[in-house]
Chain A
């Protein structure tokens, strides 16, 4: 059968194209513009080519921030994914407790980012914070404002507190979709608890876990608000992650050229890693079908 060709259909996607142009493409192009030019004010621009990119690629400051960023994302993924699965496995399956658990789990996700930062900033303070005072009272030398290690711990615990729920809720949804017959068959086959997890639950959760890991990677790689509120990137530069560094450069120092080059590379890195991650996972999936 011949398909009808009607080029007027293109007009129907025009509104979307216009919206995307104004919301994404044009702002992105101004960033590209800054990245390729230098300016000394008066709206005068001088073409510098790839100079800013070269400067950024070789910048130690950026390398350090990238290293911290990768370490941070790796740590929170390593904690949140297993912990989220563990919580999901132990949540009640039905009844009033299940609803209550779901609401409790969803609460941290509903709190605005800067409020989360503020909560932990106060919570951890040694003079008035519940956590800080308690630790101090217990004789633990804890102070996130001058000890880099304590600052890291605080930022990581805060992220785990804020986002493990997301992983847990996704994993819970994946678990709930497993038909009862699978568990019954496993009992008939005398499968151990570990086998049930390894051969039934984990494979059935794979799809949602892939999404959970992808979301948590992207979010944690772009994290800004919470550590900025708690530590402001300090002490020193110890918790200065990529986006905090970017804002310092663009807004603090007003180095628009390098910052623009930085943000373009930042964007490409996230895009690349997400794409690689997704492709690898879906390829693994397809290979298993063979």
Chain B
């Protein structure tokens, strides 16, 4: 096991990338601590799988280095890196039994038969397939096949990292929870570095200690689920995490105030002069509807999602989502949206700006 360092890494699928747009993975420097449980979160096509394949050596990066511990493995083949990877769609060896499938990575490394048998038994128990060990893998259902793929990923004890590339896409929802819990337990028990790629924020937030959010080939924020929720470093993180995502409005920032269509709001801190497109962001959870104060809005729609209601409203500054807790009535004169000043983030050209000084 080792800590994995990506040094100024970039990858393009084109032979001669001209501009930045040609890169599927923009220059990234990142350290994956040994034993961490990471989620790599981002929309489809943002470079998550590319990053994963670079780590496992399926792709050689156009630029930069991949370092395991102290060893530079940029040019080392996949087999040398001792990495396990589970793919989005199940990969099983059709002609083999479940047992042979699970034993395959160990046999290829020439482990002795007794050890292989013991490991296969342990992994089969973990994925709940002890009863099906003698069956041919090809006759199984898609989620059983995916469990075999997961099992093959976990059968080696000495791997440097286990990479999961949206592994639960084909699995039933109730099974998903169970397998994710098992992966988490596995991580606790054995302490492998795990990197879990997903575009599902619930999956990312429940699995990982640290979430790496990617957008357009770039890592935009690394943090705990709490940090991502409370202080999104990039407007994309604000919008992507949370349901619904952060409200973003174009605004002019002057010291401790933001001027936007329909009036101005107080910010929790003072900001210096900002360049570029400035916006403020506030989560629907931190906006309240009231009769006075705040900014005028007109309610368009109310969606009841069970634990709370989402009010879709429209102000002079644009559309806004407001979360109203269950049991709180929405009065007829509730035409003002009040922002919690301490929860407002300020963005210049999509990146979060740190306040110059606390207070006003």
* Contact status of A187 and B78, CB under 8 A, knowing A199-B93, A200-B93: yes
Residues of B within 8 A of A188 (CB): 56, 58, 78, 83-85, 105, 153
Docked complex: B73-115 residues within 8 A CB-CB of A: 77-79, 83-85, 87-89, 91, 93-96, 104-105, 108-109
- How far does the alpha carbon of A147 sit from the alpha carbon of B304 in the complex, in Å? 91
Distance in angstroms from B1 CB to nearest chain A CB is 17
Of A1-9, A190-198, A234-242, the one with at least 4 CB within 8 A of chain B: A190-198
* Contact status of A289 and B89, CB under 8 A, knowing A190-B105, A190-B109, A191-B108: no
- How far does the alpha carbon of A204 sit from the alpha carbon of B57 in the complex, in Å? 25
- How far does the alpha carbon of A187 sit from the alpha carbon of B88 in the complex, in Å? 16
B95–A203 CB distance below 8 A? yes
* A202 nearest CB neighbor, chain B only: B95
Docked complex: A157-203 residues within 8 A CB-CB of B: 179, 181-182, 184-185, 187-192, 195, 199-200, 203
Contact of A289 among B77, B83, B85, B136 (CB under 8 A): B136
Distance in angstroms from A95 CB to nearest chain B CB is 12
Whether B149 is near chain A, meaning CB under 8 Å from some CB there, is yes
B104–A191 CB distance below 8 A? yes
- How far does the alpha carbon of A288 sit from the alpha carbon of B138 in the complex, in Å? 8
Whether B152 is near chain A, meaning CB under 8 Å from some CB there, is yes
* Contact status of A190 and B96, CB under 8 A, knowing A181-B91, A184-B85: no
Distance in angstroms from A46 CB to nearest chain B CB is 59
Contact of A190 among B79, B85, B95, B149 (CB under 8 A): B79
**A-contacting residues of B (Cβ < 8 Å)?**
53, 56-58, 77-79, 83-85, 87-89, 91, 93-96, 104-105, 108-109, 136, 138-139, 149, 152-153
- How far does the alpha carbon of A192 sit from the alpha carbon of B139 in the complex, in Å? 25
- How far does the alpha carbon of A25 sit from the alpha carbon of B104 in the complex, in Å? 55
Tell me if B's interface is mostly helix, strand, loop or mixed. Answer: mixed
Contact of A184 among B58, B93, B96 (CB under 8 A): B58
Residues of B within 8 A of A187 (CB): 57-58, 77-79
* A199 nearest CB neighbor, chain B only: B93
Count of CB-CB pairs between chains A and B under 8 Å:
61
A189–B89 CB distance below 8 A? no
Residues of B within 8 A of A288 (CB): 95, 136, 138-139
Distance in angstroms from B130 CB to nearest chain A CB is 19
Whether A60 is near chain B, meaning CB under 8 Å from some CB there, is no
The 4 closest A-B pairs by CB, nearest first: A185-B91, A187-B78, A190-B108, A289-B139
Given contacts A189-B152, A289-B136, 6 further A-B contacts (CB under 8 A): A184-B58, A188-B153, A199-B94, A199-B104, A200-B93, A288-B136
A-B CB contact pairs (8 Å), 27 listed = A179-B89, A179-B91, A181-B87, A181-B89, A185-B85, A185-B149, A187-B57, A187-B58, A187-B77, A187-B78, A187-B79, A188-B56, A188-B153, A190-B105, A192-B108, A195-B108, A199-B93, A199-B96, A199-B104, A203-B94, A203-B95, A204-B94, A288-B95, A288-B136, A288-B138, A288-B139, A289-B139
* B85 nearest CB neighbor, chain A only: A188
- How far does the alpha carbon of A200 sit from the alpha carbon of B91 in the complex, in Å? 10
Residues of A within 8 A of B53 (CB): 184
Docked complex: A251-290 residues within 8 A CB-CB of B: 288-290
Q: Which of B84, B93, B138 has the most CB of A within 10 A?
A: B93
Q: Which of A184, A191, A204, A289 has the most CB of B within 10 A?
A: A184
Interface string of A114-127 (1 = CB under 8 A from B): 00000000000000
Residues of A within 8 A of B89 (CB): 179, 181
* B155 nearest CB neighbor, chain A only: A189
Distance in angstroms from B241 CB to nearest chain A CB is 29
